[in-house]
Amino acid sequence: MPKATIHPTDSRLLDKTRQNLVKVIEDNGLRLRPNYIRVKSRLAKKIRRYAQAKLFNRMRKAVRTLCTSLGEVHREVARQLQLLPESAQPEVQDLMQRAGRIMNQRIKDKTKLYQLDAPEAECITQVKIRVPTYEFAMNVSIDTTLKERLAVGMRSNTYDGHKLALTLEQVDILTCSERLPATAILDKGYQDVVIDGVRIRRAGQRRGITPTRETKNKRCNSIEPTITTWIDISSEHRLAFN
């Protein structure tokens, strides 16, 4: 599912998080002593110029300054949290929790936050024409019946095949069939996936495929109109169940 996510650089995330904390406090009638509106906006522009000029030491120092200013705003919001209306406190606490993750995350962390407004966005690596490309979105499996193309399940996953068993279980629950699908036709992303009691077939198989089975395997590609109808997906994971 594509997200409106620009490339998540540290400086942009830090500055946007600070702006959101300041805005949510001022919208509730309070004011922060250090809001760094003017200073940090100019500093964010300098960071982009330092990176373009390959002055990385200056760039890292400026990023640390941004992180320090976000920490001061974060602590000031924590002090004024009890002064906010009770209806606004859960939203502010959730924003503070995300701000804390952004301040403490490091380059090699596996649970990084790439977008403040969409914490479910992940870094997805795709190898196309021998060149790795990166997308900041989320994988979604859409499950349909083989002939009618009726959508019977949707589930987000981190990687193809990791949650196939849970996906089949969701199909079982939603269809009230009390059994798993007999056959699952998958795309090539679901390699080396084995489910007890389910016959796994993948699109593009050649060995031992009769013309009838080949026709059914090609039905996996017809899920594209269903995906377009339900939601625009940039990284499709096609599943068709019989």
| C-alpha to C-alpha distance for 55 and 121, rounded to whole angstroms | 30
> Does residue 74 have a pLDDT over 80?
yes
pTM for the model: 0.64
CA nearest neighbour of 169 among 160, 161, 178: 178
> Does residue 59 have a pLDDT over 80?
yes
Q: Which residues contact 138 (CB under 8 A, 6 or more apart)?
A: 1, 3, 120, 121, 122, 124, 156
Alpha helices in the chain (DSSP H): 10-26, 37-52, 56-79, 89-104, 164-175, 211-218, 224-230
Query: What is the model's pLDDT at position 131?
Result: 72
Q: What's the pLDDT band for 55 if we cut at 50, 70, 90?
A: very high
Query: What is the model's pLDDT at position 8?
Result: 65
> Does residue 57 have a pLDDT over 90?
yes
- The two tokens of residue 159 are 């990687």
Residue carrying structure tokens 């209306």: 85
pLDDT digits (tens, 9 = 90+) for 138-177: 777 777 777 777 777 777 766 655 677 777 778 877 777 7
Q: Provide mean pLDDT across the span 172-198.
A: 75
